[in-house]
Amino acid sequence: MEKLWAPWREKFILCEKQPACFLCRTAKENQDSKNYILYRGKKCFVILNRYPYNTGHLMVAPFCHVGKLEDLKEDEANELLKITQLCIRAIKKGMKPQGINLGMNLGKVSGAGVADHLHLHIVPRWLGDTNFMPVVAEIKVVSMSLSNVYKVLKREMKNLSVVSRPRSVAKPSENGFQGKADKIMWEGRGEKKRRTVDHGQWT
């Protein structure tokens, strides 16, 4: 069994806990850079883990304060997965990991630090990131600061969000495309396909 050692999280374990949910609090504050919030969707948001298991450790959480996955509404669950995909693309592009761990700790017994507000962990992995340093010396080497990780992933997620934004493209009627355009770009199911319009018909 592979073990991911994290003795540097002692600061988080021993620190004084605030009674309010930090995910709800940071989501409501208008201080995304300070709170390391990378992305806001309609139903969910992305935040860096201040006490990461590894460089680039993110959490995707719904805005609603709910602790059970089965209690998420369909649109919330769908967006949670969609934003997770966006995060993975950004991490792969900006940080070039060799693997990624995804996981949820549902309930205190399972190890959830915030049991009442579910969140999905995304942890980039590199070969040797659990080497002798954390195991023997109890020292974890984190290669990038939180501020630099934030800058890199914020940029990549912004770029990817613009690219993936759906374009408004005129569609043909039953009698063909109505208009004088010679060529249009049509996006279908994630693939860009070029269609030529000639005398009102698709060719």
If one counts every other C-beta atom within 10 angstroms of the C-beta of residue 35, the result is: 16
Distance (Å, rounded) from C-alpha 6 to C-alpha 84? 23
Q: Which residues are designated catalytic?
A: 119
Tokens of 10: 């002692």
Helix (H, G, I), strand (E, B) or coil at 163: helix
Task: Assess contact for 51 and 12: CB atoms under 8 A.
Answer: yes
188 phi and psi angles, rounded to 5 deg: -135, 120
